[in-house]
Amino acid sequence: MELESTRLELKEISFDDLENLHELHSTPEVDEFNTLGIPKDIEATRKLIKPMIEAKDKNPRGAYHWKIVLKDSGEFIGLSGLILSNDKFKLGEIYYKFLPRFWRNGYATETAKTIIACGFDHFKLHKVEAGVATENVNSIKVLEKLGMTREGLRRKILPIRGKWVDNYHYAIIEDDPRGY
């Protein structure tokens, strides 16, 4: 499954994307609010993305993981995904991360908007959720701009660099007004 927006294409990841994904996950600024930690080498990244790639073969699929590329140049700028509950609750959870040189261009908003629309329109989800570290102000702004509501606080839930960090839980329901 591929998605596109005005400026971006979201294409399912493959092992051909290993070097780009390793660069993304190895970037300290990207790791600031990431629970994965920086991989020790490219083989650690290969092990990380292997289940993401294998998810394509599952039926029903529980996850989609997309590389994000600029439509005009094909340049890799980040990674995003949608995790599906595949049950009567009809839930999806989104995530996104970008190389720092592409921050503050509206790409996170454009990506999240595209995935949320896919969740409601293609997968007929009832609710799309996202978790965000409470200090990740830029991502909080993105989620709120899209019409997501802060539903709660999960205290000390994220293991980030040896510390337990709080997480806000955001969501938008299929009949909520969308911020776009």
pLDDT digits (tens, 9 = 90+) for 131-176: 999 999 999 999 999 999 999 999 999 999 999 999 999 999 999 9
Q: Nearest-CA neighbor of 25 among 16, 13, 12, 34?
A: 34
Question: Closest Cα partner for 38 from 162, 168, 164?
Answer: 162
What distance in Å separates the CA atoms of residue 76 and residue 70, rounded to the nearest whole number? 7
How far from 165 is each of 155, 158, 171, CA to CA, in Å?
7, 5, 20
Q: Could you tell me which of 178, 76, 69, 61 has the C-alpha nearest to residue 122? A: 61
**pLDDT above 90: residue 53:** yes
Q: How far apart are CA 115 and CA 110, in angstroms?
A: 9
Q: What is the pTM of this model?
A: 0.94
DSSP state of 16: G
By the 8 A CB rule, do 83 and 62 touch?
yes
Report the chain's mean pLDDT, rounded to a whole number: 96
The CATH code of domain 3-127 reads 3.40.630.30
Over residues 81-104, mean pLDDT? 97
* Closest C-alpha among 80, 138, 56, 129 to residue 105: 138
Give the pLDDT score at 180: 65
